[in-house]
Amino acid sequence: MASETQKTYIADLATVKTKEFKEVKELILASGIVSDQAEIVNSAQSIAQITDALTDLQASQFIDVLIKSKTPKRENAYSSKRIDKTIAALDDIKKTIAAWTF
């Protein structure tokens, strides 16, 4: 069974090395590490459901796969449209809270 340290490391690496959860699934399936547990991987809704099913050896192998995979290119700043939408959403939340009453 994978250790808690391995599970945390896998989650941290997956966050850095992939853009979406489905990429994590594709990566582990393509590596052949979990051929017997492919169904668990396919139906998983979180990385914890995958790492809970791994042995310590499989977890170690998956860590190697993640380390070797290329880090995707990402942006450091949001678009102004998304920033405006998020600020509007936060303002709406604050207005709702301010209106709470007995």
- Can you tell me whether residue 32 is helix, strand or coil? coil
Rule CB under 8 A: which of 66-95 touch another protein? 74-78, 82, 85-86, 89-90, 92-94
Contact pick of 47, 53, 54, 59 for another protein (by CB under 8 A): 47
- As a whole number of angstroms, the distance between CA 51 and CA 28 comes to 11
Write the CB contacts of 56 (distance below 8 Å, at least 6 apart in sequence): 1, 2, 3, 6
- Residue closer to another protein by CB (options 16, 67) is 16
Angle at 14 between CA 41 and CA 25, to 5 degrees: 20
CB of 54 to another protein, least distance (A): 14
Which residues are at the interface with another protein (CB under 8 A)? 11-12, 14-21, 23-24, 44-49, 74-78, 82, 85-86, 89-90, 92-94, 96-102
